[in-house]
C-alpha cells in the first residue's frame, strides 16, 4: 500500500470516530488574550499557568543567554553539550526541591521514557495508575517490564497489586502523576507513597502540572499533600508553569549518576539550548519570589469551579487549575469547543486517545494573569453552550 492510500485509510477511521485533529495557529506570545486561528480570544487552554513565558525577566534571561552562549548547546551532555549553565540549573533545582541532585531532560516525555527503562527491565514490574500520562505508558513499554495497571487513584487497588508483585526479588516501581493532566485531581500521595515504601517499591511521581503551582511554596503535589520523604524520582517540566522548555528529575546523587549512564533519551540527544536553560532558572526564582502567581491561579480555579457549579456544570474530580467538563461524545465536545471560540473563548476539547473512550471533555485551564471577569464570562459561556448542546 502506498503512503497516500495508507494515510487516507488511517485518517478515514479517525474521522469516523470524530477524533480527527488539526492544529490551531496561535499568533504572538502566550498570553491570557491572544489570536487563535486569526481571532482574538481569551486563552483557557494553555499550560503557561503562571504567565512566566513572556515575563520580562524570563525573556531577558533567554535573550542574554542567546547573546552570551549562542542558540545551541552543541551536542549531547556526554560529549560537548554539558555547559556550566546546565550544572547551575540542576543545582538550583535540587536546592528548590531539597533533593541531593537533579538532572535536566529535553522534555517531560523524554524524561519518562528515559527514567522508567533506566529503573526497570524485563522481569521487573511497574505498577501504574490507569490515568497516568502517555509518556509513562510509553516508558513502561520501552522498559520491557511487566506492567500492572491499577484503578485510578485507588489506594486499595494499589495495595492489592503491590501485595502480589513485591516478592523482594524483582524491582517494583510505582508510577503516579502528581496532578492528572486531563482530570485535574491530585494523587493521594500521602497514602500511596508510604504504602509503596512499606512494600519496598520505588516511587516515581510525574508532577508536570503541580510544579510551581501547588503547595505553599510551589514545590508541587507532594508539598500540597505533606509528603516529605519516599519519592525516589520526582519528575517535573520546565515548559509549563516555568514558562520555558524541557524537564527535570530531582532525586538522589545515585539516581542522577544512574540516569547519566543509562537513560537513553538523555544520552542520545542534544542538550537543552542555553536560552531555555536560563529562562527556566530565572522562572524558578520567580516561583519563589512571586507566590501571588500561584495563589491567584488557584483562586481563579476555585472561582471557575464554583461558578460552573452554580450553573449545574460538574467539574469533578478536579481540585486544581485543570478543570474538566466531561461531555462524553467527541462530536458534541468539539461542537461546544467551536461555539466557545466563536464567542471569544478558547477551551480545548479533549478526545480519545488523550482520555478514555466516551469521556471527551472540555479542558479549561486559567492563568494567573486572567482578570477575574474573564473567568466569570468563560464559566457563563461554557454553561450556556453545554446546556444548548444537550
Ligand atoms: C503529566 C504529564 N507528564 C509529562 C508530560 C510531557 O511533558 P513535555 O510536554 O515536557 O514533554 C505532560 C505534558 O503534557 C504531562 O501532562
Q: Is 286 in the pocket of ligand 1 (CB under 6 A)?
A: no
* Residue-wise DSSP of 125-153: EEEEETT--HHHHHHHHHHT-EEEEE-TT
pLDDT band at 17 (very low <50, low <70, confident <90, very high): confident
Query: What is the spatial distance between Cα 361 and Cα 318, in angstroms, rounded to a whole number?
Result: 13
Q: Ligand 1: which residue has its CA nearest to atom 8?
A: 108
Confidence of residue 168 (pLDDT cuts 50, 70, 90): confident
48 pLDDT above the threshold of 90: yes
Q: If 0-12 CB within 10 Å is exposed, 13-18 middle and 19+ buried, where does residue 387 land?
A: exposed
pLDDT the model gives residue 29: 95
Known catalytic membership, residue 209: yes
Q: What is the pLDDT of residues 250-266, one digit of tens each?
A: 999 999 999 999 999 99
Contact between 202 and 119 under an 8 Å Cβ cutoff? The reply is yes
Per-residue model confidence (pLDDT) at position 370: 98
Q: 302 C-alpha to center of ligand 1: Å?
A: 23
Order of strands, sheet of 247-251, starting from the edge strand that comes earlier in the sequence: 101-105, 247-251, 233-237, 202-206, 172-177, 125-129, 146-150
Does residue 352 have an active-site annotation?
no
Instruction: Point out the catalytic residue in the list 86, 133, 240, 321.
Output: 240
Indicate the top mutation candidate among 30, 105, 106, 109 to test ligand 1's pocket, ranked by most ligand atoms within 8 A of CB. Answer: 109
Give the span between the Cα atoms of 125 and 145, in whole angstroms. 5
Tell me what the mean pLDDT of segment 327-349 comes to: 97
Q: Is the CB of 46 under 6 A from ligand 1?
A: no
Give me the chain's average pLDDT, please: 97
State in Å: Cα 278 to ligand 1 middle. Answer: 20
pLDDT score, position 212: 98
Distances (CA, A) of 327 to 79, 181, 337, 387: 50, 17, 11, 11
Q: What is the pLDDT of residue 140?
A: 98
Q: Whose CA is nearest to atom 5 of ligand 1?
A: 108
**Ligand 1 and 108: CB distance under 6 A:** yes
Q: Omega into 190 within 30° of 0, i.e. cis? A: no
Query: For 106-136, what is each residue's pLDDT tens digit?
Result: 999 999 999 999 999 999 999 999 999 999 9
* CA dist., res. 271 & res. 106, Å (int): 7
**Contact assessment for residue 246 and residue 103, using Cβ atoms and an 8 Å cutoff:** no
86, 133, 199, 209: the catalytic one is: 209
Confidence of residue 18 (pLDDT cuts 50, 70, 90): confident
**Domain-by-domain residue ranges, the chain?**
19-48+291-389, 56-289
Say whether 364 sits in a helix, a strand or coil. Answer: strand
**Mean pLDDT for the stretch of residues 298-322:** 98
CATH class label, 56-289? alpha beta
DSSP structure class, residue 199: T
Q: Are 149 and 163 in contact (CB under 8 A)?
A: no
Whether the link from the prior residue into 101 is cis, omega within 30° of 0, is: no
Cα distance between the two ends of the chain: 42
Query: Residue 193 pLDDT more than 90?
Result: yes
pLDDT band at 222 (very low <50, low <70, confident <90, very high): very high
- pLDDT (average), residues 284-304: 98
d(CA 339, CA 307): 20
Catalytic residue among 99, 143, 181, 265: 181
CATH topology of domain 19-48+291-389: 3.90.1150
87: CA distance to ligand 1 center in Å?
23
Sorting pLDDT into bands at 50, 70 and 90, what band is 103? Answer: very high
SS3 state at 260? helix
Amino acid at each position: 500500500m502506498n503512503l497516500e492510500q495508507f494515510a487516507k485509510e488511517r485518517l478515514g477511521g479517525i474521522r469516523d470516530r470524530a477524533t480527527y485533529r488539526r492544529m490551531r495557529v496561535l499568533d504572538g506570545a502566550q498570553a491570557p488574550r491572544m489570536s487563535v486561528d486569526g481571532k482574538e480570544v481569551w486563552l483557557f487552554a494553555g499550560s503557561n499557568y503562571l504567565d512566566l513565558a513572556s515575563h520580562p525577566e524570563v525573556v531577558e534571561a533567554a535573550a542574554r543567554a542567546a547573546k552570551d552562549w549562542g542558540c545551541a548547546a552543541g551536542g549531547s551532555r556526554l560529549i560537548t553539550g554539558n555547559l556550566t549553565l546546565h550544572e547551575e540549573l540542576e543545582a538550583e533545582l535540587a536546592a528548590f526541591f531539597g533533593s541531593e541532585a537533579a538532572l535536566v531532560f529535553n522534555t517531560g516525555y523524554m524524561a519518562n521514557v528515559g527514567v522508567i527503562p533506566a529503573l526497570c527491565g524485563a522481569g521487573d514490574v511497574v505498577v501504574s495508575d490507569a490515568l497516568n500520562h502517555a509518556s509513562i505508558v510509553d516508558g513502561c513499554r520501552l522498559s520491557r517490564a511487566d506492567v500492572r495497571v491499577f484503578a485510578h487513584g485507588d489506594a486499595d487497588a494499589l495495595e492489592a497489586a503491590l501485595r502480589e508483585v513485591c516478592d523482594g526479588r524483582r524491582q517494583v516501581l510505582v508510577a503516579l502523576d502528581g496532578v492528572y493532566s486531563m482530570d485535574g485531581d491530585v494523587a493521594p500521595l500521602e497514602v500511596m507513597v508510604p504504602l509503596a515504601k512499606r512494600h519496598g517499591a520505588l516511587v516515581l511521581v510525574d508532577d508536570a502540572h503541580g510544579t510551581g503551582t501547588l503547595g505553599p511554596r510551589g514545590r508541587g503535589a507532594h508539598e500540597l499533600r505533606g509528603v516529605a520523604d519516599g519519592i525516589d524520582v520526582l519528575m517535573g517540566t520546565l515548559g509549563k508553569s516555568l514558562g520555558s522548555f524541557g524537564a527535570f528529575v530531582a532525586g538522589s546523587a545515585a539516581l542522577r549518576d544512574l540516569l547519566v549512564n543509562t537513560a537513553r533519551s538523555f544520552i542520545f540527544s542534544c542538550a537543552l539550548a542555553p536560552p531555555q536553560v536560563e529562562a527556566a532558572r530565572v522562572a524558578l526564582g520567580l516561583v519563589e519570589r512571586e507566590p501571588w502567581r500561584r495563589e491567584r491561579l488557584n483562586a481563579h480555579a476555585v472561582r471557575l469551579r464554583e461558578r460552573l457549579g452554580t450553573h449545574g456544570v460538574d467539574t469533578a474530580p478536579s481540585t486544581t487549575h485543570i478543570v474538566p467538563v466531561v461531555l462524553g461524545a467527541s462530536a458534541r465536545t468539539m461542537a461546544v469547543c467551536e461555539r466557545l471560540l466563536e464567542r471569544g473563548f478558547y477551551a480545548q476539547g479533549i478526545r480519545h486517545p488523550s482520555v478514555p473512550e466516551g469521556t471527551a471533555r472540555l479542558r479549561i485551564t486559567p492563568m494567573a494573569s486572567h482578570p477575574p471577569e474573564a473567568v466569570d464570562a468563560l464559566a457563563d459561556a461554557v454553561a450556556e453552550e453545554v446546556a444548548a448542546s444537550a
